[in-house]
Structure 1
Amino acid sequence: MAKTDDQNVVELLLSQHTQIKDLFGQLSKAQGDRKRELFEDLVRLLAVHETAEEIVVHPTARREIDKGDSVVEARLHEESEAKQALAELHDLGVDHPDFDAKLAQLAKDVVDHADHEERDEFPQLRAKLPEERLRRMAGALRIAESTAPTRPHAMAPESAVANILAGPPIAVFDRVRDAVRDWTRQHR
């Protein structure tokens, strides 16, 4: 995923959507350790992506394009369901007999969610916000991603305030866990 300073928030999110779809495709064909590694990559990307959207994109969309909240509320509901499904898959593990079927359903739901954002939210953001603001939002999104949890926490609320308050302490724990896991994997 390219992270250039000239990328606006919509371009950045579209790039991440492509990366997420690619990971689902690779994961559906993978086996053993490779499957486990790809799933860990997917979990991290989805958790960070959704948290950052909840902090940066959805509040702006709610203020600027969705005065009645229907578009944003629908996306938050989808994200909540995806977090719960991802947490369940994380707990099951890639070797569980139900993993592949549940992963296929999650992939469908996540792709549908991305399609809704791309159709209902992103065009309106582009139409109503100046390009410079969209570029600044990309910077804010990257900062939010750097402090976001790296795995789903199914009980965490989907709001900017909750993510700002709870996200960094949870993220520290997640990132330490990730570092230990990666170190252990490298030193087997």
Structure 2
Amino acid sequence: MEYSRDVIAELAGDHREALALLERIQALPPGDKARKHLLDEVTIDLVRHAVAEEEYLYPAVREGIAHGDVLADKELADHIRMESLLKDLAGRTVEDAAFDLLVDDLIDEVRAHIRDEEQRVFVLLRQAYSPEALRELGEKVRKAKKTAPTRPHPGAPVMPPANKLLAAGLGLVDRARDALTGRGRS
């Protein structure tokens, strides 16, 4: 069997990429049109990441970790706040007075979520699951990200089975919209 990254390495890699994009946004001056383009990129990455976590990571947390329901519910609440910020930002231009404040709020929210996930959730997952189970979970997450939506859908279900049933359809529609508009292209 060929080696594949486990779920922790996969998601931690996503975290690094999201933080790098957010730092690039912060480095640009207010009103710079590139901020919106970078925000589209980070939105695509964060939404796909969140959907994959909701489909596979948090069910594993609920199943394999003591008090996993409480932990998963807290992480899902973080996702809902982030998606709400992303949705609000999607409807704004960089000239909008609230744009920079919302970007700052998003960055704070993402950093706090990453810190909590990496310092608590990932540590507990490593203790609860075998390396093979974590690799299998990593493969499921990678596959889920390929078909996941690319735009925030704050009202969409975040719990199985409804989230899995809806995600592929939303993802297909989002990717079609992105192709038509050029959104997310470097």
Q: How does 1:81-160 map to 2 (within 5 A)?
A: 81-160=81-160
Uncovered stretches (5+) of structure 2, i.e. residues with no partner: none
Q: What secondary structure, in the 3-state scheme, does the structure 1 residue paired with 2:91 have?
A: helix
What's the offset of the Cα at 1:137?
0.7
The superposition leaves residues 32-88 of structure 1 with CA deviations (integer Å, 9 ceiling, x where unpaired) of: 342222111001001000000000100001100044511111111111111111101
The amino acid that maps onto 1:103 is V
The amino acid that maps onto 2:34 is R
8 Å CA contact retained: 1:20, 1:46: yes
Match of 1:61 in 2: 61
Distance in 2 of aligned mates of 1:180 and 1:5: 36
The amino acid that maps onto 2:180 is V
The amino acid that maps onto 2:147 is T
TM-score w.r.t. length of structure 1: 0.90
Q: What secondary structure, in the 3-state scheme, does the structure 1 residue paired with 2:161 have?
A: helix
The superposition leaves residues 98-119 of structure 1 with CA deviations (integer Å, 9 ceiling, x where unpaired) of: 1011110111011101111111
The amino acid that maps onto 1:146 is K
Q: What secondary structure, in the 3-state scheme, does the structure 2 residue paired with 1:104 have?
A: helix
The amino acid that maps onto 1:94 is V
Q: 2:22 aligns with which of 21, 24, 30?
A: 24
Match of 2:12 in 1: 14
Distance in 2 of aligned mates of 1:54 and 1:5: 24
What's the offset of the Cα at 1:178?
0.8
Task: Tell me the matched-pair count.
Answer: 182
What value does the CA root-mean-square deviation take over the aligned residues? 1.8
Distance in 1 of aligned mates of 2:11 and 2:165: 23
8 Å CA contact retained: 2:33, 2:94: no
TM-score w.r.t. length of structure 2: 0.91
Distance in 2 of aligned mates of 1:82 and 1:106: 6
**Structure 1 residues 168 and 68: alpha-carbon distance in aligned structure 2, compared to 1, 3 A threshold:** closer
What's the offset of the Cα at 1:157?
2.2
The amino acid that maps onto 1:13 is L
Distance in 2 of aligned mates of 1:90 and 1:7: 32
**Structure 1 residues 78 and 59: alpha-carbon distance in aligned structure 2, compared to 1, 3 A threshold:** same
The amino acid that maps onto 2:117 is E
